[in-house]
Homo-oligomer: A and B are copies of this chain.
């Protein structure tokens, strides 16, 4: 295969799986497609990546334009997930999808979006076109494991938060309940967060202390094989 005029690359697309927690549910950003194929169906926001544009730049352009979400402002964590490229995944022909996962909080897609964005609970997804269900599943699994060995939860929380909020974020994403005392003991021992002198008051009960992350850089906290 030479790099000559005969060489024709496949279509390159990018797709964004954007998570946030709403109503104690992990929800994913979907758009209603404005064009064929799958016009008017819900799908993960994505689009074409042309020559000269990196996938990150294309992703920012596409999520902003189609879904009204600004990656740099709205997301607190983003990572490349996987490149999906089974020839059959697109009915129009061979299209390679470089997919990303992003996480944030209080994301409100702007009204100027071209494809009517909405957040949908990951456990209540409709049928999705292409291999978007696979991509979301892949992202969920990645997210789950990220929480277990990094401090990536920070992306889902406000800058100051209570330990209960922290625990609820874990429970929502991992999909199981955790013991309050053990969770606190362990998380505090990691040294990733520190208490502030502020309290969170809400409702007719004792107020909760607010904590903050010592760093918002992704940090590893795993115990390894050896």
Q: Does A183 contact B (CB under 8 A)?
A: yes
- Nearest Cβ on chain B to A99's Cβ, whole angstroms: 9
A83 touching B86, Cβ below 8 Å = no
Q: Does A1 contact B (CB under 8 A)?
A: yes
Interface of A is mostly: loop
B148 touching A54, Cβ below 8 Å = no
B3 touching A48, Cβ below 8 Å = yes
Kindly list chain B residues whose C-beta atoms are within 8 Å of the C-beta of A9.
9-12, 48-51
- Nearest Cβ on chain B to A188's Cβ, whole angstroms: 14
Q: Tell me how many chains of this kind the complex includes.
A: 2
**What are 15 A-B contacts with C-beta separation under 8 Å?**
A1-B48, A2-B48, A3-B11, A3-B92, A7-B48, A9-B12, A9-B48, A9-B50, A10-B53, A80-B82, A80-B83, A85-B98, A170-B226, A178-B226, A186-B225
Nearest residue (CB) in B for A87 is B54
- A114-146 near B? 1/0 per residue, CB < 8 Å: 000000000000000000000000000000010
Q: How far does the alpha carbon of A9 sit from the alpha carbon of B176 in the complex, in Å? A: 43
Kindly list chain B residues whose C-beta atoms are within 8 Å of the C-beta of A145.
224
A residues adjacent to B (C-beta < 8 A): 1-3, 7-12, 35, 47-56, 62, 80, 82-83, 85-87, 92-94, 96, 98, 145, 147-149, 170, 174, 176, 178, 183, 186, 221-226
Nearest residue (CB) in B for A90 is B3
Q: How far does the alpha carbon of A226 sit from the alpha carbon of B189 in the complex, in Å? A: 14
B12 touching A148, Cβ below 8 Å = no
- Nearest Cβ on chain B to A168's Cβ, whole angstroms: 13
- Nearest Cβ on chain B to A44's Cβ, whole angstroms: 16
